[in-house]
Amino acid sequence: MTVNDVITELKAHGSESVKKIWLNHGIKEPFFGVKIEYLKGIQKKVKKNHALALGLFATGNADAMYLAALIADDAAMTKEDLQRWVRAAVSQNINEYAVPWVATGNKHGYTLALEWIDASEAHIQAAGWATLSGIVSVTPDTSLDLTALRGLLVRVAASIHGAANRVRYTMNGFVIAVGSYVTPLTAEAMAAGRKMGVVTVDMAGTACKVPDAAVYITKVSEKGKLGVKKKGVKC
């Protein structure tokens, strides 16, 4: 399939009702409103196609950009590719999911994530925190910089309430991820969650809620799932 083939197919399967929902969830034009399950159907046909992924992302269409992340060869991304992608990731589904998924599977992901959380643009900051969450969820604890992660927990607890709206959401998610997947830091993540207290995020009238970090980690513990790493982050 070519980029034009995919865009034609996406356009044919767009939905105004789905588009309305996505608009409420922070997805920005242009996009057609294609259901995620349909994008996954294309992914099954295409499998991994890095050249096509790069072309689709470059269209700036949010449906195509999401699909691009699903079919990209994460390891083949250059640092410049990732920087270009994160700058263009103005939609929530792209900066909180698509780009972080790909960065999580890339050797430059951790270094870039630390750079991104200090960016001036909120959507890049959000991508940085989401990438860090992805990395701790799949990486063995022995390969993680626990001292750096401990410092980031302290940073989040101290600064989350002054951060931009969706940055607060991804920072909260980072605390949950560390507490759930990095058992040497679970107690410290719980403490950070308690210090943060209620994290308020404007969900634009959707039914989505902001989980209480300490409560969430406690539930993971009660299920006996603490420290159980994911096989991958793309979904």
Q: Which of residues 57, 72, 87 is at a domain's end?
A: 72
Let me know whether 109 and 195 are in one domain.
Answer: yes
Domain-located, residue 82? no
Give the range of the structural domain holding residue 50, as residue numbers without chain letter: 1-72
Let me know whether 121 and 153 are in one domain.
Answer: yes
Let me know whether 61 and 112 are in one domain.
Answer: no
In one-letter notation, the amino acid at residue 72 is: A
Kindly write down the DSSP assignment for every residue of the chain, as one continuous string.
Answer: --HHHHHHHHHHT--HHHHHHHHHTT--SS-----HHHHHHHHHHH-S-HHHHHHHHHT--HHHHHHHHHH--GGG--HHHHHHHHHH--SHHIIIIIHHHHHHTSTTHHHHHHHHTT-SSHHHHHHHHHHHHHHHHHS-GGGS-HHHHHHHHHHHHHHGGGS-HHHHHHHHHHHHHHHHH-GGGHHHHHHHHHHH-PPP---TT-S-----HHHHHHHHHHTT-TT---S----
Let me know whether 28 and 140 are in one domain.
Answer: no
Q: Is 140:116 a contact under the CB 8 Å cutoff?
A: no
Cβ contacts of 119 within 8 Å, gap of 6 or more: 125, 128
Let me know whether 112 and 201 are in one domain.
Answer: yes
CA distance 208 to 22: 13
Domain-located, residue 138? yes
Let me know whether 113 and 146 are in one domain.
Answer: yes
pLDDT for 52 equals: 98
Let me know whether 55 and 111 are in one domain.
Answer: no
Low-confidence ranges of the chain (pLDDT < 70): none
Q: From residue 185, how far is each of 120, 145, 197, 210 by CA, in Å?
A: 28, 11, 18, 22
Threshold 0.75, pTM exceeds: yes
Q: Phi-psi category of 77—alpha, beta or left, where left has phi over 0 and alpha has psi -120 to 50? A: beta
pLDDT for 230 equals: 97
Q: 130-153: per-residue pLDDT in tens?
A: 999 999 999 999 999 999 999 999
Domain-located, residue 78? no
pLDDT for 90 equals: 98
Q: What is the mean pLDDT of the chain?
A: 97
Domain-located, residue 89? no
Domain-located, residue 223? yes
Domain-located, residue 187? yes
Domain-located, residue 121? yes
pLDDT for 91 equals: 98
Let me know whether 43 and 123 are in one domain.
Answer: no
pLDDT for 198 equals: 96
The number of domains in the chain is 2
CA distance 6 to 105: 24
Let me know whether 35 and 139 are in one domain.
Answer: no
Let me know whether 104 and 206 are in one domain.
Answer: yes
Let me know whether 216 and 144 are in one domain.
Answer: yes
Domain-located, residue 120? yes
Let me know whether 107 and 67 are in one domain.
Answer: no
Q: Tokens for 64, please give them.
A: 């195509």
